[in-house]
Structure 1
Amino acid sequence: MPGDRHLRARPRTDPDDRWEVGSSFPLTHAAGPGTTRLPSPLRLYGTGRQALLALLRMGRTELGWTAVHLPAYYCPPVADAAATVLPVRRYDAGPRGHVDPPRPGPTEAVVAVSYFGDRPADPVTRGAALVVDSTHDPFAPWLPSTGADYVLAALRKTLPLPDGAALWSPAGHHLPAQPAPSVRHRAAAGQVLAAMCLKATYLSGSPVEKNAFLSAFAAGEAAYGSTSVSGASDYTREALPAMPVDRWRRQRTANAVVLGDALAGVVGLRAHVHPFGVVVECDSGELREALRTALVARRVYPAVLWPQPPDAPARHLDYSRRMLHLHTDHRWRAEDMLRVAARIHDVLAPVTGPTPDPTDTREVMEC
């Protein structure tokens, strides 16, 4: 019967034939030494966007905040969502540092972003509150020294979780009430968790079709775009405290050093090592696109963090068109990083690469 097509036995594949670097996490067993003592009290939301919205809504209704200052280089959908709560003022800051620092009034909050895990520049004027977005290194050792009023971090960029974002106050300020997970969010997180399970099975060589988990990831990601605020899923609330976050962080940073060293001197790009991974700046946007396309064909899935709108400041728009982020997290070891570097060397040599797999996908990361 046609409906039984997916139930027929299929042969296993050598896991090395499914080797890849980048893209979304598969489900990973979370255990072992190196767990992180989580801040307390802590609020857990469905996504980083939801955590920011919850904080801004509390600031508006309870603390009298009248505007929020966001860096010019920021994830556009997050900035758009913030504008549904408070007027947004942009200040000229990005991965290359401050050009024009924020000038908030006494009732206006400032968001400073840790780009790729680096410590953000301290604003001269903090206004009503300083909020640090540490998504790219959620529990960075430098966080306590920032003097931040609030810290928020989306967790599934660095951890194998289907959802989740943390919000806390190092200064001991009042936090929004912890919301329960909504029905809509539970369903979305369930789709992503199913996708993570299928991806883990696929990577092991089992006869799972790649489109099965790609479509599940896409459906979950689409649902995460809502501006409704929800608590994190049951899975994330239970799994997060058991995760060896410190050990995984050390692996990520060590891998980044290996990859950065292996890319030193490559003609056409500059490699920058960060706690979140390696950022390569290509000499031109055209070279970046050619490199990205060739890497995807070679099962290396870089991310663009973040595509900027056409009206963005020229230097930020230029940077976003020339950069790629290469993942170095705990899924891989030094030999994998050298394998990625070899592919980049081959592409820029140049060497004719394989034809891209039409079922493949480029990295899509929720902000």
Structure 2
Amino acid sequence: MIKEYGSDFHYLAECPEIKGKKFLEDYLGKDYQLHFSGRTALYSLIKNGIENLGWKRICFPEYFCHGVIDYIRRLDIDVLYYNDGPYVAEFDSSQFAAFDTADTAIFIVNYFGCQKTKVLNVEKAVVIEDHTHNPVSAWALRSSADFCIASLRKTMPIPAGGLLWSPKRKQLPVNVGDERSFVNSCFFMNLSAMVLKAEYLNGGNVAKQDFRDLFIESESMYSDIRIQGPLPEFGFRMINYVPVNSLIETKTRNLKLLQELIDVDFETVQGYQIDEVPLGLIILNESKEIRDRLRAYLAARNIYTAVLWPNQPTAQGRDFSDSMLLLHVDIRYDANDIAYMAKTLQHWAQSDLFKSEIQNATISL
């Protein structure tokens, strides 16, 4: 058996057999619409807003995945920015006074899935919330926004899946696009990669590059406009079989254990709720150079981290993006795996080569 940590999910065949609450049936419990991805859900919503509700502009936070924003720019709508990011200590709702018009949509992000609820004092503007990093947070489940979206594959072991719902019970748009052949190709290519990765990790006759090529090719299809379309039926069944309570319990347990095992002071990122479960363990370093060296050190030991998100347009955003790493501690890992991650970070901290760097880092929950 091969042990690797992080990166794309492999196929977890045991998920349908795990008893527990189901996401769509037991957690969401309201009208919803499934899309191929979070970005296609957002695109469908904004397209409907332009054509039927008179939307003329949408306001995004400065710190976000700009690949998604570029995808939305294909629509005939002005894209504006406001100040927000995981580095912002207090969410400033007063900045939206100039945007509070009926032709404006404001997009709000729960960074890493455990921020405090962000309240907008707007009367006319439409509020859209992104709960990708924790679709079952208290904020998500008790939201009072006009609309909410989530890209489910970021937290669930599925090849694709985007969710759109309206806490205010507003009418959801028709799922635009019907490129079933292209959509199915992307979905089942990603699923094939997940299955091959599972076989690789189990010691099967699969080369790592076999599934990596499929992951890379399917990921490139996400920026294609033809990806607008309904999620395949098998995708719906996979989402409904995801044992959400097991995902939450495992991640909570793993984060707690990792915190206990690492002999480094933990600090919280601004605005975090300590009773929520973040997307993963976030390590903040003093510089991009130090971050990149730590990332390479971990990768050499089969621990693959993520950066959310590179290529930020503002100096403050770049400073945060260039310093952060995200370690995955989800349902794929048990106590032995977490102990290995902790031991690897401890070795980094105790190494003469890296000792000065780790002292300039903070590890955040």
Q: Normalised by the shorter chain, which TM-score bucket?
A: 0.7 to 0.9
Following the alignment from structure 1 to structure 2, what is the Cα–Cα distance between the partners of residues 206 and 314? 46
Cα RMSD over matched residues? Answer: 2.1
- Aligned AA (2:69): A
Number of corresponding residues: 333
Among 196, 199, 203, the alignment partner of 1:198 is 196
- Aligned AA (2:216): A
Among 4, 10, 15, the alignment partner of 1:26 is 10
| 1:352 positional shift | 7.4
Contact map agreement 2:143 2:167 (CA 8 A) in 1: no
Cα deviation 1:21-61 (Å, max 9, x = unaligned): 10101111222222232343221111111111111111111
| 1:102 positional shift | 3.2
Following the alignment from structure 1 to structure 2, what is the Cα–Cα distance between the partners of residues 320 and 113? 16
Following the alignment from structure 2 to structure 1, what is the Cα–Cα distance between the partners of residues 146 and 300? 44
1:333 corresponds to 2:329: no
- Give the % identical residues: 30
| 1:145 positional shift | 3.0
Quote the residue 2:310 is aligned against. Answer: 307
Contact map agreement 1:130 1:150 (CA 8 A) in 2: yes
Quote the residue 1:150 is aligned against. Answer: 147
Distance 1:328 1:279, change over 3 A: same
- Aligned AA (1:113): V
Contact map agreement 1:110 1:131 (CA 8 A) in 2: yes
Which shows bigger deviation, 338-347 or 34-43? Answer: 34-43
Q: Which one has the bigger helix percentage?
A: 2
Secondary structure of the equivalent of 1:88? strand
1:108 corresponds to 2:107: no
Matches within 5 A, 1:160-199: 160-178=157-175, 182-199=180-197
Contact map agreement 1:185 1:224 (CA 8 A) in 2: no
| 1:189 positional shift | 1.0
Quote the residue 1:248 is aligned against. Answer: 247
Among 297, 300, 303, the alignment partner of 1:297 is 300
- Aligned AA (2:250): Q
Which shows bigger deviation, 58-67 or 94-103? Answer: 94-103
Contact map agreement 2:44 2:173 (CA 8 A) in 1: yes
Quote the residue 1:69 is aligned against. Answer: 59
Following the alignment from structure 1 to structure 2, what is the Cα–Cα distance between the partners of residues 23 and 45? 23
Secondary structure of the equivalent of 2:129? strand
Contact map agreement 2:128 2:145 (CA 8 A) in 1: yes
1:53 corresponds to 2:50: no
Following the alignment from structure 1 to structure 2, what is the Cα–Cα distance between the partners of residues 121 and 223? 33
Contact map agreement 1:66 1:108 (CA 8 A) in 2: yes
Distance 1:352 1:315, change over 3 A: closer
Following the alignment from structure 2 to structure 1, what is the Cα–Cα distance between the partners of residues 244 and 66? 28
- Aligned AA (2:105): A
Quote the residue 1:226 is aligned against. Answer: 224
Contact map agreement 1:47 1:164 (CA 8 A) in 2: yes
Among 275, 278, 297, the alignment partner of 1:275 is 278
Following the alignment from structure 2 to structure 1, what is the Cα–Cα distance between the partners of residues 120 and 261? 35
Secondary structure of the equivalent of 1:28? coil
- Aligned AA (2:8): S
- Aligned AA (2:128): V
Cα deviation 1:222-264 (Å, max 9, x = unaligned): 1111134111122211221122112212211221222233335
1:320 corresponds to 2:317: no
| 1:270 positional shift | 5.7
Secondary structure of the equivalent of 1:125? coil
| 1:284 positional shift | 1.7
Question: Which structure 1 residue ranges, 4+ long, deviate > 6 Å from structure 2?
Answer: none
Contact map agreement 1:282 1:323 (CA 8 A) in 2: yes
- TM-score (norm. length: structure 1): 0.85
Contact map agreement 1:110 1:127 (CA 8 A) in 2: no
